[in-house]
Amino acid sequence: METPDSIQLEAVKRSKGLEWLMTVDHKRLGVMYICSGLFFFVVAGIMASLIRIQLAVPQNDFLPPDTFNRMFTMHGTSMVFLVGMPIIAGMANFLVPLMVGTRDMALPRLNAFGFWIFLFGGCLLYYSYIGGPGLYGAGSAPDVGWFAYAPLTSKAFSRGHTVDYWALSLILTGIGSLATAANIIVTVFCLRCKGMTMFRLPLFVWMMLVTAFLMVLALPPLSAAQIMLLLDRFLGAGFFDTQEGGSAVIWQHFFWIFGHPEVYILIMPGFAVASEVIPVFSRKPIFGYPVMVAASIMITFISLGVWAHHMFTVGMTSVANVFFATSTLLIAIPTGIKIFNWLGTMWGGKIRFATPMLFCMGFLFQFLASGLTGVMLAIVPFDWQLSDSYFVVAHFHYVLVGGLLFTIFAAIYYWYPKVTGRMLSEKIGKMHFWIFVLGFNMTFGVQHILGILGMPRRIYTYDTDRGWDLWNMISSIGVIFQGIAILLFIYNILSSLRKGKEAGPDPWDAWTLEWATSSPPPSYNFAKLPEVKSRRPLWDEKHPDDPDWRHE
């Protein structure tokens, strides 16, 4: 019999590759986003390893200085824009429509456009390696750091096209992110299934929504600044070029008006994952749902007013310094509330330590640590010592790796069965977790000490007599463990694709709508659009005696 289903199956068989290239299905785009993010993660990780090899011993000449500078610039730029952002976009793309019970994103074509322009931007950034003195001389890849401070980026100090590649490719990936953000906002506002009020949205969706707003507010200032930079470089406009009378400090304001919210764009999806995984594996609803929503919104607002805490050493007045210290410290309150609410969720539960939960536990401790080092950096005078030292490198890796990357791993272990229909190996997953925890804390934990001993960041070499040797060596050895863990992870992903245990629609006994459809979901998601009465529709179904809606 020719059902619509089998017709579609035929089409897929005929031209699988082409189907992927031309798809506007949110799930496929989500998977493509995540896979490209993981690809760039490996590339940027290799560059990080090269950096750490160079720094393992004093006065190493493994990398020449300019190559080293390109490595940390491309590492930082890639990790933020080509790893963090697309993986977040991918998760949102795959999950938001399923979680709100609809068939696709609101603007599927824009969605596809966003992905392809992101990928093009990423390739453009890496194309820079091939220009200039060629591959061996590490090409003319950008070498000005991921925040590309003026006037180092002006024509006078950065000849060739390194900075142009940096600016152009990020303008493009920025357009991609805006497309995703617009899509999330419209989808959440307009396409929720019947009964899904705003206060029944899964917290994951809430936080992605808030993140999307943050993207819309924060990305345009970056693109504007980059366009101004290109005008400087090609037409001599002189916005940031101090030799033309421009201002170097204005660049920093522009950059961090984008850059600080960006940090929250990266970490809020981490919160989103934790807010789904922790309840399911504690077997309890999230503690204080309305407060969690309020805290997310508060973080969004406050995070728009803290940017100059990246500039305490630039020489602002003491009034401005204290103002930004205050706003920064205030953000600790909603963030703290979140940590306490996850704790409250675990309290009195029956915690199952499957791999996704393990990664969320790692996240909780490491994010707590990074939050507290963040408080230290907000104390203006303390920051005068710590900023631009290895302490800062440690701090933001605890946020980005200890926070974001750990929850990304949690998310992949948690939703892989939904995406592929098969489970990842729990045994390899647990090895991955423990080896990675060890390696990560080894690499970045000791960097706090290096900062306290006065080691500046972004130096390619150092002398033996500064007391830094041992700590740098430990830090580099940690990378070996991280590398092994990542190899296990990749092996797990690839081998489980074929050999993994069949998952079934709801392997974790979870409660949100994505688990109400088959794994992987059909292209139309739900045969019949669902209807919900509470925040945990599947709980209601499984416990008709004590449904959730009685408690809301």
Partner 1 sequence: MVLFSAVAMRAEEEIHNIQNIFEPTSTPAEGILEIAWVVLTICAGIFVVVAGLMVYAIIRFRAKKDDDGSEPAQVYGSNQIEMAWTVIPLLIVLVLVFVTARKTITIQNMPFPEGTLEVNIIGHQWWWEVEYPQYGFITANEIHIPVSEGDIKRPTIINLESADVIHSFWVPKLGGKRDVVPNYPNQIWYEPDETGIYLGNCAEFCGTQHANMQIRVVVQTPEDFEAWLKNQQTPPREDASVATGRRMFESLACISCHAIGEKGANNGFGPDLTHLMSRQTIGAGVADTNYDDIHQWLKDPDSLKPGCYMPDMKLTDDQLKHLTEYLLTLH
Sites of contact with ligand HEM (CB under 6 A): 45, 48, 51-52, 72-73, 75-76, 79-80, 83-84, 145-146, 393, 397, 400-401, 404-405, 443, 457-458, 479, 482
Give 100 or 369: the residue with its C-beta nearer to partner 1: 369
| Residue 494: other Cβ atoms inside 10 A | 10
Q: How far apart are CA 337 and CA 347, in angstroms?
A: 15
Give 111 or 252: the residue with its C-beta nearer to partner 1: 252
Cis previous bond, 520, omega within 30:
yes
Shortest distance, position 150 Cβ to partner 1, whole Å: 8
| Residue 22: other Cβ atoms inside 10 A | 11
Question: Any contact of residue 151 with partner 1 (CB under 8 A)?
Answer: yes
Give 49 or 518: the residue with its C-beta nearer to ligand HEM: 49
| Residue 339: other Cβ atoms inside 10 A | 15
Question: Any contact of residue 551 with partner 1 (CB under 8 A)?
Answer: yes
Give 460 or 526: the residue with its C-beta nearer to partner 1: 460
51 touches which of ligand HEM, partner 1, none (CB within 5 to 8 A by kind)?
Answer: ligand HEM
**From residue 435 to residue 464, what is the string marking binding to partner 1 with x (rule CB under 8 A)?**
-----------------xxx-xxxxxxxx-
Give 157 or 234: the residue with its C-beta nearer to partner 1: 157
What is the H or E stretch that residue 87 is in? helix 85-100
Give 64 or 522: the residue with its C-beta nearer to partner 1: 64
Shortest distance, position 197 Cβ to partner 1, whole Å: 16
Burial (CB < 10 A; 0-12, 13-18, 19+), residue 350, is exposed
Q: How far apart are CA 300 and CA 380, in angstroms?
A: 22
Give 438 or 452: the residue with its C-beta nearer to partner 1: 452
Q: How far apart are CA 152 and CA 38, in angstroms?
A: 31
Give 115 or 367: the residue with its C-beta nearer to partner 1: 367
75 touches which of ligand HEM, partner 1, none (CB within 5 to 8 A by kind)?
Answer: ligand HEM
300 touches which of partner 1, ligand HEM, none (CB within 5 to 8 A by kind)?
Answer: none
**How far is CA 419 from each of CA 29, 83, 424, 521, rounded to the nearest angstrom?**
12, 19, 11, 7
322 touches which of ligand HEM, partner 1, none (CB within 5 to 8 A by kind)?
Answer: partner 1
Shortest distance, position 218 Cβ to partner 1, whole Å: 23
Q: How far apart are CA 308 and CA 451, in angstroms?
A: 21
Cross-strand partners of 205: none
Question: Any contact of residue 299 with partner 1 (CB under 8 A)?
Answer: no
Q: What are phi and psi of 502, to 5 degrees?
A: -60, 135
The string of DSSP codes covering 234-250 is HH---SS-GGGT--HHH
Q: Do residues 483 and 426 touch, judged by C-beta distance below 8 A?
A: no
**Which residues in 155-184 contact partner 1 (CB under 8 A)?**
156-157
User: Quick one: DSSP state of residue 94?
Assistant: H
Give 165 or 287: the residue with its C-beta nearer to partner 1: 287
476 touches which of partner 1, ligand HEM, none (CB within 5 to 8 A by kind)?
Answer: none
Question: Any contact of residue 389 with partner 1 (CB under 8 A)?
Answer: yes
Question: Any contact of residue 352 with partner 1 (CB under 8 A)?
Answer: yes
533 touches which of partner 1, ligand HEM, none (CB within 5 to 8 A by kind)?
Answer: none
**From residue 45 to residue 84, what is the string marking binding to partner 1 with x (rule CB under 8 A)?**
-------------------xxx--x---------------
Residue 369, amino acid? A
Shortest distance, position 399 Cβ to ligand HEM, whole Å: 9
CA–CA–CA angle 132, 157, 234 (5° rounding): 75
Shortest distance, position 165 Cβ to ligand HEM, whole Å: 15
Q: How far apart are CA 261 and CA 117, in angstroms?
A: 22
Shortest distance, position 528 Cβ to ligand HEM, whole Å: 40
Structure tokens at 156: 């006078």
Q: How far apart are CA 13 and CA 313, in angstroms?
A: 60
Residue 132, C-beta contacts closer than 8 angstroms, at least 6 positions apart: 139, 140, 160, 161, 162
Shortest distance, position 25 Cβ to ligand HEM, whole Å: 27
Structure tokens at 101: 């019970």
428 touches which of ligand HEM, partner 1, none (CB within 5 to 8 A by kind)?
Answer: none
Total residues at the site for partner 1 (CB under 8 A)?
Answer: 93
Residue 366, C-beta contacts closer than 8 angstroms, at least 6 positions apart: 398, 401, 402, 403, 406, 440, 441
Give 111 or 173: the residue with its C-beta nearer to ligand HEM: 173
